[in-house]
Structure 1
Amino acid sequence: MSALSLVIRPEHPDDDGAIQRLHARAFGPGRYARTAYRLREGVTHRADLSVTASVGGFLAGSMRMNAVRAEGPAFLALGPLAVDPSFEGRGVGSSLMRAGLEAAKTAGEGLVILVGDAPFYARFGFAPVPPGRLLLPGPVDPARFLWLELAEGFSARVSGTVLAA
Structure 2
Amino acid sequence: MTYLLEQETEEDWWEVEQLLDTCFAPGREALSSYRLREGVDPVARLCLTAREDGILAGAIRVWPVRVAGRTVALIGPVAVHPTRQGEGLGALLIREVIDRAAVIGWQRMMLVGDAPYYNRFGFRKLEGVVMPPPTNPDRVLGVGDWEGITGTVIRAAGAGVSPLRQERVS
Alignment match, 1:102: 99
Which SS does the other structure have where 1:29 is aligned?
A: coil
- In terms of fraction of residues, the more helix-rich structure is 1
Alignment match, 2:69: 72
Q: Quote the offset at 1:157 in angstroms.
A: 4.7
Residues 79-127 of structure 1, C-alpha deviations (whole Å, 9 max, x = no match)? 0011111111011101101111111100110111110111111110001
Which SS does the other structure have where 1:19 is aligned?
A: helix
CA distance 1:157–1:49, change in 2 (3 Å): farther
- Is 1:140 matched up with 2:135? yes
Q: What is the TM-score with the length of structure 2 in the denominator? A: 0.86
- Is 1:158 matched up with 2:153? no
CA–CA distance in 2 between the matches of 1:134 and 1:69? 11
Q: What is the TM-score with the length of structure 1 in the denominator? A: 0.89
CA–CA distance in 2 between the matches of 1:147 and 1:160? 13
Alignment match, 1:62: 59
CA–CA distance in 1 between the matches of 2:112 and 2:92? 19
CA–CA distance in 2 between the matches of 1:74 and 1:24? 28
Alignment match, 1:34: 31
Unaligned runs of 5+ in 2: 157-170
Name the Cα RMSD after superposition: 1.3
Q: Quote the offset at 1:10 in angstroms.
A: 1.8
CA–CA distance in 2 between the matches of 1:157 and 1:48? 28
Alignment match, 2:160: none
CA–CA distance in 2 between the matches of 1:9 and 1:99? 10
Runs (4+) of structure 1 moved beyond 3 Å? none
Provide the aligned length of Structure 1 versus Structure 2.
156
Unaligned runs of 5+ in 1: none
Which SS does the other structure have where 2:153 is aligned?
A: strand
Which SS does the other structure have where 1:74 is aligned?
A: strand
